[in-house]
A and B are shown apart, each in its own frame.
Chain A
Amino acid sequence: DAKTTQPNSMESNEEEPVHLPCNHSTISGTDYIHWYRQLPSQGPEYVIHGLTSNVNNRMASLAIAEDRKSSTLILHRATLRDAAVYYCIPRGNYGQNFVFGPGTRLSVLP
C-alpha cells in the first residue's frame, strides 16, 4: 500500500479557500487517490477521488500533480461545517486494504 503524508492540522478562516495537501510518493500508476473526511462524532464520509486529471464535485476539487506523487484537496469557500479530519488514501484496483492514516485536522475560524 502506498504511504501518505499529510499535515497534522491546518486552520482556515470561514469563506476562504482551503488547500489540503497530501504526499503519496510511492503511489503506483493505477492507484486512485481518494479523500474522505470525518466530522466530529460522525463516521467518515466520501469527499472526492481521482486518477490523473483534476476532478470537481459539489463538495470540493481535487488537484493531482502531473507526476501523481502529491495531490491537493481544495475547499473553495470553507464553512464552519467543513471543520473535520481529512484523509487522503491511495487505492489500487482490487486493493483490499483501505487504510486510513492520521489525516489533517482542519479548523475553520468564524
Chain B
Amino acid sequence: NAGVTQTPKFRILKIGQSMTLQCTQDMNHNYMYWYRQDPGMGLKLIYYSVGAGITDKGEVPNGYNVSRSTTEDFPLRLELAAPSQTSVYFCASSYSRGYEKLFFGSGTQLSVL
C-alpha cells in the first residue's frame, strides 16, 4: 500500500499565482484532512472531508479551496498565492471511528515569493 501520497514535494510560487496540491490515499478512508505548518509552529487544520462530496472548513480556511469528488482524492487549491501561505502542507486520512488512527502524507513545502 502506498498510503497517503502528496505531490509535489516542493514548489515555489510567485505572488498571485495559483496551484493545486494533490493528495490521494489508497486505504479507502472516508475522512481526509489538510493541515498547514508554519516554521516552528504546530499544525493548523485548513479543511477536512468526511466523505466524497462533503467538505468543511477547519481553523484556517481563508485563501484555500478543496473538493472531494472521489473517496481517494482530496486536492487543495490555492488561488492568488500570498507570502503568508508559505508553509509546509500535510494531507492526512483516517476511518471515521474514534479508535482509528490518522495517516499522514510526507508533506509539500511551498514558498510564495
Contact = CB atoms under 8 A, between A and B. Distances in A.
Contacts of B103: 46
Nearest to B45: A99
Contacts of A25: none
Interface stretch (B11-19, B70-78, B91-99): B91-99
A36 B45 contact: no
Contact of B98 (A32, A43, A97, A102): A32
Given A94-B97, A97-B45, A103-B42, A36 B102 contact: yes
Interface in B28-65: 31, 33, 35, 42-45, 48, 50, 56, 58-59
A30 B97 CA distance: 11
Nearest to B44: A100
A98 B96 contact: no
Contact of B99 (A32, A36, A42, A100): A32
A93 interface: yes
Contact of B92 (A51, A98, A101): A98
Interface of B: 31, 33, 35, 42-45, 48, 50, 56, 58-59, 90, 92, 94, 96-99, 101-107
The 6 closest A-B pairs by CB, nearest first: A43-B104, A32-B98, A100-B43, A93-B98, A46-B101, A91-B98
Given A34-B102, A100-B44, 9 more contacts: A45-B104, A85-B42, A94-B96, A94-B97, A95-B98, A97-B45, A97-B58, A99-B59, A100-B35
29 contacts: A32-B98, A34-B101, A36-B102, A42-B106, A43-B90, A43-B104, A43-B106, A44-B43, A44-B102, A44-B104, A45-B104, A49-B101, A51-B99, A91-B98, A93-B97, A93-B98, A95-B98, A96-B48, A96-B50, A97-B45, A98-B31, A98-B48, A98-B92, A98-B94, A98-B102, A99-B45, A99-B58, A100-B35, A100-B44
